[in-house]
Structures are given as C-alpha cells and as structure tokens.
Amino acid sequence: MINSGDTAWIISATALVLLMTLPALALFYGGLVQAKNILSVLVQCFAVACVASVLWFACGYSLAFSGSGPWIGDLNAALLANVTRSAPHPGTAIPESVYVMFEMAFAIITPALIIGAYVERIKFEAVLLISALWLLIVYVPVAHWVWGGGWLAARGVMDFAGGIVVHVTAGVSALVIAAMLGARHEFPHGIRPPHAPWMVMVGASLLWVGWFGFNAGSALSAGGDAGMALLATHLAAATATLVWMAIEWIKFGKPSLVGAVTGTIAGLACITPASGYVGPLAAVLLGVTASAVCFTAVLLVKRVVQVDDALDVLGVHGVGGAIGSLLLPFLTLLGGGVTLARPVMAQFAVQAIAVMVVGAWSAVATFAITKLAAWTVGLRVDLETETQGLDFAAHGETGYHVNR
C-alpha cells in the first residue's frame, strides 16, 4: 500500500538531495578553486550528475537494488523495465519510481564528491570515463552490499544514509585518483587560495539544507526516524561548525569563513551514517569529534601524505563518514538512540569490517579504473592548459568577464 505522506516526503527529499549536487556541491567546490577554473568545476558536477542518471537507468539501479546475491544484484530491473506505476518498493510505502529516483540522487552526488580531488588539472574526458566506470564498479556494488541485501546487510551493518556507501567510497577513491593524477603544478607552496569564499559558504549552506533530505529522507518514511534524523543532522552540523571555528581561532588567531563551513560539512558527513539511529546528545558529540578529527586529517593529507586531494575529499568526507560509521554503535547507547540487534562491540566489529572492506575495494577498483583512463583518454591536461585555466582551454568559456 502506498502511503501518501511517506511519498510526499520522499519526493521532497529527492529534490533536496539533487540540490546537494546542483548547485550546492558545485558552488562549494567552485568557490574553492581559482577564478580561471570555476566553470570547469561547475560543468564537471553537472555532467557527472547526468552520466550517473543515465547509467542508473541503464543498469545501475538494477545491479544495486534488484536481486539479493551477496556481491551484486541482477539485471531484472535494467532499463527500469519493471518499474510500474502502482507497486510500492518492497519494505516501504512509497512507489518504486520514487525509490529509484531517491536512490538516483545518491548515485549522482557520490561520484560528484570525488571531483574535489582532481580539480584544476584533469581532462574532461577522464572525468566522464572515470565517473561512469566508478559508479558501476565501486558505488553500485557497495550500495548493494550495504543497502541492497548484500553481504554487509546480511551481517547487520548500520549505515543510515551513506557514511560508508557515499563518504568512505568517495573519500578513499578521491585520494587514489589524486595520487595517480599527480599534484597541481604549484603544489604545495604556490597553490592559489580559494577565489570566492562567499561562494563556498553559499554552497555549504545549500548542502546543509539538502542534507535534511539526504538523512531524514533515508528513513524512507515520514515518521519518527525521519524526525530524529533531521534533528541529529542539524545539531551535528552546528556543533562541528563551532568546533572547527574554535580550533582555527586558537591555532591561527582568527576564525575563518572557509574553515567554519568546512566544519559544517565534516559534521554532516559524520552524522550521515548515524543520523536515524542516534539521539540529539550523540549528534552533538559527533559534531565535536567530526571537526577535531577532520581538521587533523586535512592537515595530515596535505603535509604528511603530501597528496594533492585539492579540496580535501578524503579529509572531510571520507574521514567524517568513517568515524561516524565506527562510533555509531556506542552513540546509540545515549538518549534517543535505537536498540542494537547485537552487543555493542559486535556491532562495532561489523562496522569496522564494513569500513575497511569498502575502503579497500574503493582503493583497488579506483586504481584499476584510473589506470584504464590513463591508457585510453589520458588523465591530465598539459601544463600550458593548466596554467591558462581549464575554463577557456577546455570549455572555451570564461567565468568572469570583468574589466580589471
């Protein structure tokens, strides 16, 4: 039976999740790059969204959510052939069409998150090829393992809205691509600062609102779980913002806007897997942890690992999603949390296995995909194109026609 309240909420949530990519993530990333590369980032986000949509229709949805083999689904729903008007998605009271579309918005944002790793130097052909292959080889199987009845679902893994499926996969893969692609030629000392911090803030704000759909929509119904996820999401974001600001204020003497909104996103990534399972106090604690750990992770990647993950996809998204996934069993014990199906340490073990195996699969598969792209279309633009900026060199357009 289709429930109109549930359906109305998930349709709304779907719109919010699409908003997270177009334009929220595009603006968040676009403001962080140099003015000469702004359009390349926007068009990458736009194109990846469309590639993912068409692949989701072709076979992505089917391989993730049709069939219940341990590793991968089947092709019974390829071309969305079996999506009828009236049937609800199993286990929910929303139409199959709405479920397909809600999940599609997740399949859109996940490869788009990786864009942050390779901006300002990648070939557009490589963006398209890597994103397409990555969706089918990394995202689709992992979504099946965790949400589609695969082997991690069978073990009882808890990932409410995608800390593992979205943020660990994207974060780990981002680091691998960034390492294989090589750093921007000015890295690390000559890199130019974000060209439009205000745009980063607009993007982060839209992401914050969109995340209500991402997390509260993942309840797949309009009830108590959605409500608690909404509350937890907001509190984690607000707390993480304040903590990141405080860290910068103490360490550098000034609290920056870019830092504050980076904290917001770290908090949101961190609460994602836990959002529907924990209560308000747990969300605040996760917010504190998110900024403390992600701030350190961002510095480690830049200074110690020295990989030019340009916009900190691993440090903010990957690490945020992983710590939320690992801590959530303990945090359910605080007020407002769900009752675990197994002892807390046993649940933690499942979470740890999931994070490690998904991280490992993301790394290995992304390595292979990137190699393939390197052999076929090539990965990097030449130095002259990179210096001139991708906007004009690769897309024939200029972001700002101002007289200066």
**31 close to 197: Cβ distance less than 8 angstroms:** yes
Residue 262 CB, shortest distance to another protein, in Å, is 6
Residue 88 DSSP one-character state: B
Q: Which is nearer to another protein, 298 or 354 (CB)?
A: 298
Chain contacts with another protein (rule: CB under 8 A):
188-194, 197, 248, 251-252, 254, 256, 258-259, 262, 295, 298-299, 302, 312, 404
Q: Which is nearer to another protein, 101 or 298 (CB)?
A: 298
Q: Give the Cα separation of 55 and 272 in Å (integer).
A: 25
Residue 258 CB, shortest distance to another protein, in Å, is 5
The one-letter amino acid at 277: Y
What residues have CB less than 8 Å from 59, skipping those under 6 apart? 75, 78, 79, 136
Residue 30 CB, shortest distance to another protein, in Å, is 15
Which residue blocks in 272-312 are alpha helix, DSSP H?
A: 280-299
The tokens for 81 are: 């052939």
Residue 243 CB, shortest distance to another protein, in Å, is 14
Q: Which is nearer to another protein, 198 or 252 (CB)?
A: 252
Residue 404 CB, shortest distance to another protein, in Å, is 7
Q: Give the Cα separation of 146 and 157 in Å (integer).
A: 7
Q: Which is nearer to another protein, 184 or 234 (CB)?
A: 184
CA 235 to chain centre: 19
Q: Which is nearer to another protein, 31 or 279 (CB)?
A: 31
Residue 195 CB, shortest distance to another protein, in Å, is 11
The one-letter amino acid at 119: V
What residues have CB less than 8 Å from 164, skipping those under 6 apart? 142, 146, 157, 273, 321, 322, 325, 354, 355, 358
Q: What residue has token string 């992505």?
A: 60
Residue 263 CB, shortest distance to another protein, in Å, is 10
Q: Which is nearer to another protein, 60 or 259 (CB)?
A: 259
CA 44, 50, 56, 57: dihedral to nearest 10 degrees? -160
84 phi-psi bin (left φ>0, alpha ψ -120 to 50, beta other): beta
What residues have CB less than 8 Å from 392, skipping those under 6 apart? 36, 398
Q: Which is nearer to another protein, 77 or 297 (CB)?
A: 297
Q: Which is nearer to another protein, 189 or 401 (CB)?
A: 189
Residue 212 CB, shortest distance to another protein, in Å, is 25
Q: Which is nearer to another protein, 140 or 243 (CB)?
A: 243
**329 close to 158: Cβ distance less than 8 angstroms:** yes
Q: Which is nearer to another protein, 85 or 404 (CB)?
A: 404
Residue 151 CB, shortest distance to another protein, in Å, is 37
Closest residue by Cα to residue 108 from 185, 31, 19: 19
Residue 211 CB, shortest distance to another protein, in Å, is 20
**354 close to 304: Cβ distance less than 8 angstroms:** no
Q: Which is nearer to another protein, 212 or 295 (CB)?
A: 295
Q: Give the Cα separation of 218 and 16 in Å (integer).
A: 12
Residue 402 CB, shortest distance to another protein, in Å, is 10
Q: Give the Cα separation of 53 and 45 in Å (integer).
A: 12
| Phi, psi (rounded to 5 degrees) for 95 | -60, 150
CA atoms within 13 A on the CB side of 245: 12
Burial per residue of 92-107, b for 16 or more beta-carbon CB atoms within 10 angstroms, e otherwise: bbbbbbbbbbbbbbbb
